Amino acid sequence: MTLTIQPFTKPVCKKILVPGSKSLTNRLFPLAVLSEKSVIITGSLESEDAEIMRDALVKMGAHITEIKTESGISDWKVETASFFTNTDNIELFCGNSGTSIRFLTALCALRKGKTTLTGTHRMLVRPIGDLCDVLQNLGVNIEYNKNTNFPPHTIFPSSIFTQSCDRFSGMRKELKSVHLSGKLSSQFFTALFHIAPKIGLEIIVDNELVSKPYIDMTIEVMKDFGVHIENVQNEYAIFKISQQKFTVPKTGKFEVEGDASSATYPLAIGLITGGNVEITNLPKKSLQGDAKFKELVIDKMRNPENNTINPLIPLGNIDLEDIPDAALTAIVLCGYADGYTKITGLSTLRHKECDRLFAMETNLRKMGIEVKTGTDYIEIWGDSKKIHGAEIECFDDHRIAMSFAVLGTVVENVKILDPECTKKTFPSFWEDLEKWRI
């Protein structure tokens, strides 16, 4: 299937509601299960990634019940049920959901049954070895079914972990110390943070830690569950998590704010069409790193002098390591901004749902824009007059599709191949895009 985007005929000036945060949704559900309490999650994301996480937790023994609401956005009741006692040998299909397979890999170490984790072809070339190495050093038996350091992999019950859960007796003074490289993915750290209160961990960071805002998010969310994570001297070099109990608020409710990554698309469309968009369900004090997109990109690229010629000015040299998902939206905007931009800090984009730097370079060149990429950077020579329509190869990556849809609102004949890939995080994206043009 191919979708041709019709350019917008007027500036977009709207207040817009975006889907719930994927990052928060896929943290809250496993934490709710680990809390061993009854928890209600409201405003969560309804998408393939969220469904993969919920289905996996249910297969592992949790009870998750949908509660319909008048708003049309379901609440979810989460109960631990037999999560810690289920001895079934199971297989979990994680699709191409990086958060799911990484968070679940650590969670499976707490199970009393054997678990195999697998996914799509792309998932099978996304490395998991750094996380598995840490778990193995803690005494977990993990076998790679095909290629070492990559899914599919099988996790066997570990007495060290299951006994910690069975015999929990409050704070443990001695922490198990492990080392983990910070250069590949912050999600490996989040995965370990989730299970650390059950066993007590000291995590020493080797190399510089990428995507620090996602670490901050996890620490804040776990604080809501009563868990204290010590970021020693606030330097992201050592994290200490003592053995401790999860707690929940008296209401038992957790609300998911809007997805800051998804918000970048309407914000960018507002900018590129010469309008202005406000996201109504993204708080000013958001937990999400991508919430800084407006400050770091939109506000800097807005041309206050002459919006009729080109509403954009280039970013010049900028480091967007802290907002890697939002960086894709910045990249397409820079393709339309007349002038030179170099964006650095993008090494993690090589290991996402696709090689995102390669995908951006390939598609921008198709549209007539000069681009150069390296291991962790992209250089763009934007040209609003030279840019033209093209068939956009999404590489089964939702963010590639939605980013280039932004250009389609001002450039004729932008054709998105495989537009259905947006179901991963933003199922209503194409319907919403049409609403934004009105």
Catalytic sites, residue numbers: 325
Do 92 and 51 form a contact (C-beta atoms < 8 A)?
Answer: no
Beta-sheet strand order (sheet of 39-42): 63-67, 75-79, 39-42, 253-255
Do 68 and 76 form a contact (C-beta atoms < 8 A)?
Answer: no
Upper half-sphere CA count for residue 288 (Cβ side, 13 Å) = 27
Q: How far, in Å, CA of 399 to CA of 126, rounded? A: 17
Q: How far, in Å, CA of 272 to CA of 275, rounded? A: 7
Q: How far, in Å, CA of 289 to CA of 299, rounded? A: 16
Beta-sheet strand order (sheet of 230-231): 176-181, 201-206, 238-241, 230-231
The letter for the amino acid at 197 is: P
- Pick from 139, 143, 144, 117: nearest CA to 59: 117
- Pick from 414, 362, 409: nearest CA to 388: 414
Residue 46 CA to chain centroid, in angstroms?
A: 14
Strand partners, 414: 5
Dihedral-angle region of residue 226 (phi above 0 means left; psi in -120 to 50 means alpha; beta otherwise): left
